[in-house]
Structure 1
Amino acid sequence: MAKAPIDMFQLSCIQIAIALLLFNQVKSTTETFSLHPSGSCVTSERSALLTFRAGLSDPANLLSSWKGDNCCRWKGVYCSKRTGHVIRLDLAGPYCEIGYWGMEVVLDDWGTHALAGNISSSLLGLQHLWYLDLSCNGFDKIQIPEFLGSLHKLRYLDLSMSFIGKIPPQLGNLSNLRYLSLHSSLYYSSLAYHGTTYSTDITWLSRLTSLVHLDMTNVNLSTIVQWLPVVNMLQTLKVLHLHFCQLRSSPDSMQLSNLTSLETLYLGGNKFHKPIRPNWFWDLTSLKYFDISGNGFHGPFPDEIGNMTSIVELYLYDNDLVGMIPSNMKNLCTLEIFDSSNNNIDGTTTEIFHRLPSCSWNKLQDLFLGESNLTGSLPTTLIETLSNLTWLDLAGNRLTGHVPVWLGELTKLRMLNLCYNNLDGVIHEGHLSGLHMLEGLRLSDNSIAITVSPTWVPPFSLAMIHLRSCQLGPKFPTWLRWQTQVVSLDVSNTSINDMLPNWFWIAASSVEYLNIGNNQITGVLPSRMEFMKAKVMDFSLNQLGGPIPKFSVNLLMLDLSQNNFIGPLPLDFGAPGLIALLLYNNMISGSIPSSLCMLQSLQMLDLSRNNLNGSITDCLVNNSSTNMSGLSILNLSLRNNNLSGEFPAILQKCPQLTFLDLRDNQFSGILPAWIGEKLLSLSFLRLRSNMFHGHIPVELMKLPNLQYLDLAYNNISGSIPLSIVNCTGMAQARDESSGLEYAFTFGAMYDENELVDYTENFMVLTKGQERLYTEEIIYMVNLDLSSNSLTGGIPEEISTLLELKSLNLSWNNFNRKIPDNIGRLMQVESLDLSHNELSGEIPSSLSALTSLSRLNLSYNNLSGKIPTGDQLQTLEDPTSIYIGNPGLCGSPLSRKCSSQPDPIPGENHGDASSDAVSFLLGTSYGYVVGLWLVFCTFLFKRKWRASWYSLYDRAYLQVAVYLRFPER
């Protein structure tokens, strides 16, 4: 659950306060410093600094002041007033701050403002240095230099979010250190974030006996088990940050705790997965700031919470805690922030409000109880001493009833979050008029109607307005006109049936995340869109029309799908950083402009269901103005247009392509072999209803991730390649860490609100009909080669595709038998082999397909008895399954099979009837041979024919006389 900006602000204030405290402690030494001393700096130290600068890359000229003789006047350099020695070097990168959860917050162009390059060992010339800050810079290609461990006078060292690799144990030589921050940057890999630095042995920390502040957030410590004994040796420690360090062990207790001075303990985001009690930290009763969020702790809320009487901020969110919070929380009289969201409190809001310590009601500022399985309605009357609340988050529960008017009396409230509940009723001006300090109003996914006067002017200036699925319409809410500082606006699905007013584009000019989708809004997009600040815009499912204008240079995601936009696509999209562009189901015409191919960051493009025509311009094939090795596209859908030409050659430059849909166009030619050589990430390939011809390339079966192949309704000929056995995407279960979801679902997250949620509306022909799949499409494993001209037999290798859910080979020219081992396809739900020339018996293994819900074997040359089985007996319209196979018999057909099978020739059955049959067969054979000899004699020998007939006449005369006068 994303945390609020107020948390980041408060934590930053805490860190600043601690830094100032340490600074004052350090300042009490015999040396003092001056920004602009009257004398020059030490010559050797000036040389050391210039050598240091020579190894740096400084694209923003941050060190432009480093010239002249007096280095004490250089930016970031501080000298002792008494000796002139450099004692402080503050080169922290600009625009970088450590926010909540240990996530870094930087500007988009941070890399062009930060220092980079190498850290020269010339810094060792600054032997009087006690303060060194290199944080938030771009030293992301090098490790922390080992020689820093030789700056023995250092008391303050901040290397956060600048370096990579292993942390050198030589830092343990800095025995005078009081402040050490090694807070690591993050990188994204395999559906998870990981720190860029790591350590396999932290015993060197035990030598930093003066340490007061230690921050190792995001540092990978996953291999370290005995980390607590090392930390326990730091007796002076007051602040400890071990967020997201991949720690796996949390001891139940310590025999002798030296952490009696510890006031701040942040352990969130590790992998402990154990009961919440016992645990060693419950003995640290002097803690003021305590965070054990996201650790997989489970069990009831512990009573030990009531012993932490010094606590100011308590973060328990994202665990598996159950039950009501303990009653002895009444002892926490200094509590200001309480976050227990994403647990299972399973109680009423009235009960939990009464469990909060009454002695701290007048101090409580932030209350986070979102996604806690809370029920009931909000209290009808205000607990007066809660009037200091600045943040109230009850989102994602099961709250019912109306929103009470007393919320409008929380005059210091800055954020109200009631999203994702079952609240109803009306919010009027009385709820809102007293909230002068309100900055965020989040009521999405309730049944609340906001009814205010059209002339009402709100007293607040909101930065966040999330009202999705509330009732705002039918007119566009005019009070939004006065909200000119909005950063995130979501009024989607709010029953607005109106034309966009002109003032809307002025009010929305500062919005970065804008969603007005799923209404009945009319109007056109203005040309001033080019100058908006928006990064994410969702206008889908409306009645907007007109041409598509040039977009803002800031735009990252745009959804204009399911509107009435007309005309060609713009020749210049104006948004070079565009990641997702969704324009499906409009009336866009013309060709696809080559400027689309220049969008190097584009990962999702859906132009389906429009009137586009022509071929896809291969704009990068001969483009010498770019050195791109490839495009970033993951998901490309061009279905249901009038596009033509051969298979697009530009796709060779899309090595990350995962989903490709070209169905229902007029593409032609053969399928190129490079599909299986260049598109190794391809999982879904749909070329249905085009005019492709030729054989299925053998190389296509080299795609290891291919799990959905649809070539139906083309002119494909030849046979199914036996190498289909190599399609492991159809043979093996999908790996949960494959990241396939990323190709189908795009979201722009802003404080847990997913403003753009694109899941491919994927129509799959299965079970005899087209069905709509959305999120579950990633689990579909289909093979559809129907309505082509494929020949030969169905290869036995197809039975190795054990994950197939739908197999359709109908309307081809397949002959021979159905593979006997087809019953191995245990996941198949739909199997269609109809309208072929298959012969032989139906394999009995079909009866083993327990998942089968649709089977079609009609119009083949199958024969023999139909197999029986529990699953086969449950299929709908069973007779239609086998129609067109006159040789089949048995249930469910009316044709009965013979009770006694025909004898096999040559087999001795040991009875008289068998001998009689053998005799008759032998006699008939002799008769035919003899007759044939006579016929040949007549045919070739004329004299023989005459003699034969003469003999026949005499014999006939004698027989006739004998029969007439037998007594002679």
Structure 2
Amino acid sequence: MNMFRAVVFFLAYFGHATSACPALCKCYSRRSEVVCNEVPLTEFPSVGLPENTTTLTIQFTNITSISEEDLKAIPKLKELHLFSNHLKNLSSHLLRGVPHLTTLDLTGNKLRHLPADVFSHAPLQILVLKNNLIEKAEASWLPDNSNLTWLDVSGNRLTNVPADFLKKIPHLENLDLSHNHLEKLSAGSLDPLTKLDRLNLRNNKLENLNASLLHSTRNLTYLFLSRNKLSRVPQNIFQELTQLKHLSLDDNQLSSIPSGLLNHLNALEDEGLDLTANPWMCDGKIEYLFGWLQKNQKKAFLPETIICSGPQSLKSRSVMSLKETDKVECADVSTMTSFPVDGLPPDTTVLSIWSTQISSIEASHLNAVPFLNRLQLYANKLDKLPSNLLQNASRLNSLDLTGNELGHLPPGVFNQKSLRNLVLKNNHIEQADAGWFADNNSLIWLDLSGNRLSDIPTALLQKLKHLEHLDLSDNNLQDLQPDALKNLHHLDILNLARNKLTTLPPTAFSHNPNLLRLFLQENLLRELPPSLFSGLQRLQMLLLNQNRLQHIPEGLLDGRNSSFQLILATNPWLCDGKIQYLWRWLNEHTQNVFYLEEVTCNRPEELKDRQVVSLTESELGLVR
């Protein structure tokens, strides 16, 4: 009898659970979840939905509308995910029948106009309207004093956000308005958002910001203003943001920032301020930024890539490399054709000659300045150097030859033990020669970026055993020899960006345990060896963006510390079963990835442009 009752109970309970499921969908009774994924649905699957459903996912279907009546069949619903369908219409009072709904995701549909009260009646906390066609945000969508803490309206066609709309969401903690057409935000519009923690205004058309715009958002910790058209920023706009950890102002039209702008940002994390890709004018107005960077270099993201756009004599110079105390300076002297030996003070320690017509220099020229410590010959017409150039410059520590016309350099040209910093950036050098340096050299910084190198000789690098910074970016390097970096045990920054590297040997970095920053972006890398980074326990930053990576091997990113930062954007990721390792790592380390939203699937077609981190287990084939 007991056995009979057990069988009856089993059939009554489990038989009902398995049979009550819409055609073409999958029901998971244990977690009260229904998934309708990539199926030929044209209407909302009301028939057969288990009444106790708490999570419903419908994605990649041909459904064009959803109504209040459709949702009445599942009154216990808490999460509704309607990703990448063809929704054009939502009914007014849509959520009246789902009083427990807290999450609604409508990403990637064709919504343009939404009716009044469409998001009323439910205690919504998370609302995602990303990647639709919405041109105007309406206050009438929402109830007064909405419970929303997360609102994502990115990837639409908004030109402004009405203050009365924002007034209805006083509990908001995350607001994403990125990838729209916003031209301005009115003064006071953000004042109701006193709990706001994260504000994303990236990739809009903002040309200026009201000085008081952020004065009430004192709890902000993340602020994204990159890829706008900002040409100026009000001096006191950030003065209340004492908790701000990350601020991105990159890729705007900033030529300077006002004095004091960054003084109140005491909570900025290391590398928390991004000012790259702006047309900085390195005149008197750059003084505040220069001073701030000198004191707060660790707070800036890639500070060495904050570059002068003008004047012409300083174009392409890093702001960080500017000097306050150059003692002798010959700049923009277009009539100067020979080295200015006559009249040089014999006690000169720093000599800078920029943007002249000088085409040659001799060792004898430096006899006039026996105490010379730093020599900068930037953007002249130098096309050759003598092999004995530095024979009498026994105190020379730094030599900068950026932006000349140097091609072939003779052996012994840099054979001076005192030399520690050498910059040969933006010349015409096609071949680097180990003969340039003595075996007992003291070089710690070598910049060969912006030349025409197709390889870097192992013999040259083996001589540079004290090297800490090596920049080979913007060349034509096609491969890296397995033992090329073997002797560089002190190396902490290696820049191989913007070359033509297609592969890297598994042992490429095996002998560089002190490496902190590794730049591999904008190459042609298709795959990476699983053990490539295994010995780099101190690595803090890795850039792999804009390559041709489709997958990364299992374990590649394991063992990274909590401060590790990674950029993987703009690779053609193939989102099949092999993407599983990357997907899991991204979900577990979202705080470590810059531009996470740009790590998107390239294939298969049905997942194209989806964020890898947003994929579901069923889409990856992990649910059987």
Task: Tell me the TM-score normalized by structure 1.
Answer: 0.32
- Larger-Rg structure: 1
Q: Which has the higher contact order (CA 8 A, sep 6+)?
A: 2
